[in-house]
Amino acid sequence: MTNAEAVAVLVVRVVLGVIMVAHGLNHWRGGGKIEGTARWFGGLGLRHGTLQAWMSVVTEVGAGTLLVLGLFTPLACAAVVSVMLVAGLLAHRPNGFFVFKDGYEYVLMLAAICLALGVLGPGRISVDHAAGIDVTGWAGGGIALGVAVVATAGLLATFWRPERPEKAAPPEQAERPEQAAELPEQAARPEQAARPEQAARPEEAAPPEQAAERPEEVAPPERAVTADGPAVTGVAGPETG
C-alpha cells in the first residue's frame, strides 16, 4: 500500500469512527438521553429498551474508537455493519430509499464503506499494522460481513417482538347498517304515531248541539205590527174571515 493509499484509508477510518462515536454519545447524552433512546428502541419492537440503548452506546462508541485507532479493524467494521443492518431493517426500510424521506440510503452507505474497509484493511497508519495484525482481503471482508449478519440475526431473534396489528372486526361484529342508522321500526311507527282513535274522536269532539246553538235556544222571532194588530212574522196562524 502506497503512502497516498495509506492516508486515504486513514481519512476514511477516522471520519467513519468519529461519526459512530458521535452517534453513540448522542444516544447517551443527547435529546431524551438514555431514556429517550430506550423508548425509541421500544417503538421499533425491541424488548428491554434500556438494555438496547446501552448496547447501542457501547457498540457505536467502541467501534468508532477502534476504527480511529485502526485496531481489530475487521471486528470494528462488523459492529458498524450490524448497527446499520438493525437500523436499516427496523427504522428506515419502511420509509423507502432516500435519506431525505428518512430512508435507508445513509445507513446503507455507512455499511458499504465499512465492508470495503474490512477488505482493504486499516492501512499502515494503524495499531493493527504496528502490532502485526494483518487480516485483510477476503478474510477481512468475510469477518466484517459474517459477524455482522450473525450478530444482527441473534439480536432480532432474541429481542425483536413487534406488536401485531389489531384484527379487523368480522362482518357480524362490525357496525351494521341497522346499527349505524335508525331502524325504520325504531322510528315513529304507525301504531306509535297519532292514531285515528287517539286523534279527536267524533264523540270527544264538540257535539252538534254544543257546537251550534240549538233551535230552541234561538231567540223567538220578532213580532211585526200590522194594521189589524200584532202578528207573528213567519208563524202560520188561523185564517180570519
Residues 29-68 have pLDDT tens digits of 887 889 999 999 999 999 999 999 999 999 999 999 999 9
Judge if pTM exceeds 0.85. Answer: no
Nearest to residue 240, comparing CAs of 224, 228, 232, 222?
A: 228
**Quick check: 114 pLDDT over 90?**
yes
Torsion of Cα atoms, 48 then 50 then 51 then 54, to 10°: 160
**Quick check: 24 pLDDT over 70?**
yes
Residues 177-191 have pLDDT tens digits of 455 445 444 544 544
For 161, residues 6+ apart whose C-beta sits below 8 A from its C-beta are: 45, 46, 47
79-107 average pLDDT score: 94
| End-to-end Cα spacing for the chain | 167
Nearest to residue 121, comparing CAs of 186, 89, 76?
A: 76
Residue 15 cell numbers, joined: 471520519
Enumerate the domain spans of the chain: 3-159
Strand stretches in the chain, DSSP E: 223-226, 229-232
Q: Are 55 and 22 in contact (CB under 8 A)?
A: no
**Quick check: 194 pLDDT over 90?**
no
User: For position 30, what pLDDT does the model report?
Assistant: 85
79-87 average pLDDT score: 96
DSSP per-residue letters across 53-94: HHHHHHHHHHHHHHHHHT-SHHHHHHHHHHHHHHIIIIIIGG
163-173 average pLDDT score: 60
Dihedral sign for Cα 169, 171, 177, 183, please: negative
Dihedral sign for Cα 107, 23, 59, 144, please: positive
Residues 136-167 have pLDDT tens digits of 999 999 999 999 999 999 999 999 998 776 66
Nearest to residue 119, comparing CAs of 78, 58, 165?
A: 78
